[in-house]
Amino acid sequence: MIDPAVLAELNAFVEEFTDDMTTFATGAYLTEEEKDAWDAPYEVDAIVEVKRTLAALVDAASELSTPAGAPAVSRLVGSTIDQLGRINAVFGDAVIEPEEEAELTEFFARVAGALELDASDIANLPTFEQSDPYDDEMTIDIL
């Protein structure tokens, strides 16, 4: 099981990450004048799906025993990446861009570290570049 303090940190990341996405998607950081010439990059509905997907990852990870096996964690991360890819596709590929991919890749490494994977196994986790969002074999069914 993941240490409760670490689990709280993982959940806090999900909250902060999706809060930042909401700020970006709503233009909350802009002045009223700036909003007049601004178009939202994606619908706020996308964030709900991203949050649900990341929360499902944390929940599933919390149920794994530690140390968890690399194959189980790789399947979990791969499934999450694929699900995020599908969400991204639904919303015009505007939700998960390189900056978000980098943050999420670090997050996945933290999840794997919490499950006591070694550095080599963490380095070999699935990546967004390897993802096939339409591979239904490894899906956390939330949509």
143 domain residue, yes or no:
no
Position 119 in a domain:
yes
pLDDT given for residue 135 in this prediction: 57
Determine, yes or no, domain membership for 83.
yes
Question: Does residue 131 belong to any structural domain of this protein?
Answer: yes
The answer as to whether 98 is a domain residue is yes
Give the pLDDT confidence of 20-44 residue by residue, as tens digits.
999 999 999 999 999 999 999 999 9
Positive/negative CA dihedral, 23, 58, 6, 112: negative
Does the pLDDT of residue 60 top 50, yes or no? yes
Q: CA gyration radius for the chain?
A: 16
- pLDDT band for 1, please (50, 70, 90 cuts): confident
Average confidence (pLDDT) over 124-133: 84
The model carries a pTM of 0.88
Domain count, the chain: 1
Q: How far are the Cα atoms of 68, 112, 115 from residue 62, in angstroms, in the given order?
A: 10, 11, 9
And the tokens for 120?
């080599």
Q: Which domain holds residue 128?
A: 4-138
pLDDT at 65 over 70: yes
**What is the reported pLDDT for 23?**
96
Residue 143 reports pLDDT greater than 50:
no
Residue 58 lies in a domain: yes
pLDDT value of position 66: 87
